[in-house]
Amino acid sequence: MGNGMSTKQHLLAYLKEGKGTWISGESLAHRMTISRSAIWKHIRTLREEGYVIESSQKKGYLLRQSSDLLLVNEIQEGLSTSVFGKRGIHYFRHTDSTNTRAKLFASEGAPEGTLIVAEEQTRGRGRRGRRWFSPSGEGIYTSIILRPSIPPNEAPKLTLMASVAVAEALISMTSLALSIKWPNDIIVNGRKIAGILTEISTEMERIDYVVIGVGINVNTSRKSLPSDIENTATSVLMETGNPLPRNALLRAYLEWLEIYYTTFMTKGFEPVMKRWKHLAGIIGRRISVDLIERIRTGEVLDIDKDGFLILREQDGTVERIISGDVTLLNK
């Protein structure tokens, strides 16, 4: 059963071992050397955490369905990463913003790979201080702390890397046709299904930490969308008609993220960039891009090696853009 497990986790492991069969309270109490009333107490707690456990005076207990909550033990069960999600997961039923929490943990020295997960964000954030709609239990809202040894001006690459990892996770678990919209959105049928918010803490020439926050609309229903995003947002459930286990999707994201991060740090950014370009399909497209203080329109020549967008404007001038709101124009 492994060490460091709580009694409750032990009990859960026995129930999972049962694979949908009944296990008597007596045999559980015997194997765990605790009283039957203690068993009952832990069963109640597990039910509160979302596990569907049937009970019968005669037959004992049966685990009908695992919790869909993003519980630490559920995330870690079968997680094949080396570092990401293995060095501490901070789980919140609700919090203001997982990025805000991550920055606080990072300021206090939390190591690379530390994960923050919330069922609900009360002040979920997107770029430029925008809101990210984060209803309880319907999406994945997670932030990871990285401490890469790269100069601060290479940080935009990390957003591209994360968008590739989110895209790969969705591709590996659904049949959705998706594309990446530079710099930080994942789009299905013209609507946003996921977004990335990267925040960085630096001295001038040295990164202290990077927080990559991801919001994925997983089991959000169309009717729950607020009116201001009902025409621009979508979810896995809306697109496929089926709910997806959030824990499995989160694990897939962490595994892909670790693969691409390791590639970036050991082999450089080119392999990541290559995959990004394949998934983005923005190069050669006419776009307009809103840069807060002005709007530029033109053709995308490239995303350069630093992750900047290279735009040729109508008058022929070429601009290098770090980040902005892109609108694809007609071909």
Of 204 and 331, nearer to its own copies (C-beta) is: 204
Q: Whole-number minimum distance, CB 79 to its own copies, in Å?
A: 28
Q: Whole-number minimum distance, CB 227 to its own copies, in Å?
A: 26
Q: Whole-number minimum distance, CB 310 to its own copies, in Å?
A: 16
Q: Whole-number minimum distance, CB 71 to its own copies, in Å?
A: 26
Q: Are 234 and 217 in contact (CB under 8 A)?
A: yes
Number of Cβ atoms within 10 Å of the Cβ of 267: 10
| Helical pair 7-17 and 25-32, crossing angle rounded to 10 deg | 130
d(CA 218, CA 195): 12
Of 66 and 100, nearer to its own copies (C-beta) is: 100
Q: Whole-number minimum distance, CB 99 to its own copies, in Å?
A: 10
Of 102 and 194, nearer to its own copies (C-beta) is: 102
Indicate if the alpha-carbon torsion angle 118, 119, 121, 125 is positive or negative: positive
Position 106, amino acid: A
Give the three-class secondary structure for 60.
strand
Tokens for 235, please give them.
Answer: 């979810």
Q: Are 149 and 112 in contact (CB under 8 A)?
A: no
Of 153 and 231, nearer to its own copies (C-beta) is: 153
Q: Whole-number minimum distance, CB 170 to its own copies, in Å?
A: 23
Q: Whole-number minimum distance, CB 96 to its own copies, in Å?
A: 10
d(CA 21, CA 190): 45
Of 203 and 315, nearer to its own copies (C-beta) is: 203
Helix (H) or strand (E) run with residue 192 in it: strand 191-202
The footprint of its own copies (CB under 8 A) covers 100, 103-104, 107-108, 127-129, 153, 155-156, 159, 183, 197-206, 208, 291-292, 322-324
| Cα 118–chain centre separation | 10
d(CA 208, CA 215): 23
Of 105 and 256, nearer to its own copies (C-beta) is: 105
Of 15 and 155, nearer to its own copies (C-beta) is: 155
Q: Are 215 and 132 in contact (CB under 8 A)?
A: yes
Q: Whole-number minimum distance, CB 129 to its own copies, in Å?
A: 8
Number of Cβ atoms within 10 Å of the Cβ of 2: 7
Of 200 and 283, nearer to its own copies (C-beta) is: 200
